[in-house]
Amino acid sequence: MPEGSLVTISSLASYRPFLLFLFLALTLTGIRLVLPQIVFAPTAEIVATPAALGLLFDDVTFAASDAVRLNGWHIPAEDARGTLLFFHGNAGNISHRLDSIKIFHDLGLSVFIIDYRGYGRSEGGLSIPGVTFDALAAWKWLTEEKKIPPEKIVVFGRSLGGAVAMELMRHVEPCALILESTFSSLPEMIRIPFVAPLARLVVGDVWNSAEVASSLTVPVLCIHSPDDWIVPYRLGRRLYDAVTSEKTFVEIWGGHNEGFLESIDVYRPALDMFFTKHFGPHI
């Protein structure tokens, strides 16, 4: 090998620490930039409203603490036994949750469902920290604008919405909490081994629902399907196991997005029993 080549290889070797640092810096920056696009899958178009179900509703606009304007629907129930604050999953928007709205409304609950920033008619850009501001703003609207007492509110989170609900639980205490098809922590959802610790390094230990679960004081209903291929059942069980307050686990069947409908004969009575226990019977 020519002498010049040996010098070049030796020189490159001396740059290894710098090259490794550069690689890690670029990787971390890349994760920070793309993670919101991986986590969130918003749709802007509102395809239907509760009016399609014959339900009266208020189209609500309110602001988060950082002045981002948000949109949601308040669907009142006659002689409501409670109010459900609804945090939906990562795809679509509030208009794709009419089936769930109908179920909760028929069970005697008023429903307040919101779109996170960047979803539907809500303004702002996609942001992992931002959705916590959105959840707090929704709670504030219910308790301050609508004057709903916390003991008459049940917080509901499905899938990613479960993580949003758990972040809200760091700050408020409703009557009860329902977690459906959700996960114990965000890094555990990343199935590429070396990316998970890097993601935790970049964004911090966000959406560590298991940590929140260990300090809950309100009753919790956890719902999950072993057939769920998007959010693994084991993560739902891990979250349930971490809950130290009064808790109930209901196993349904079917896929991540349609399981609650496929299991309606189990799903609906379980909800009714939970609401009856904590809000009284549906008149």
194-198 long-range CB contacts below 8 Å, 24 or more apart?
A: 195/31, 198/27, 198/28, 198/31
Handedness of CA 230, 207, 278, 51 (dihedral sign): negative
Place of tokens 């994760």: 31
Contact (Cβ atoms closer than 8 angstroms) between residue 94 and residue 120: yes
State whether residue 251 is helix, strand or coil.
strand
Please state the rounded mean pLDDT for residues 246-261: 97
Name the H helices within the chain: 3-14, 16-39, 98-106, 128-140, 160-168, 186-189, 195-203, 209-213, 233-242, 259-262, 264-279
For the chain, which residues make up each domain, given as ranges?
1-39, 41-279
Q: How does pLDDT run across 164-196, given as a tens digit for each residue?
A: 999 999 999 999 999 999 999 887 776 655 556
User: Residue 11: its pLDDT value, please?
Assistant: 57
Distance between the two ends of the chain, CA-based, in angstroms? 89
Report the C-alpha gap between 129 and 138 in whole angstroms. 15
Q: How confident is the model over 29-75, as pLDDT tens digits? A: 555 555 666 789 999 999 999 999 999 999 999 999 999 999 999 99
Question: Which of 3.40.50.1820, 3.40.190.10, 3.40.228.10, 3.40.50.700 is the CATH number of 41-279?
Answer: 3.40.50.1820
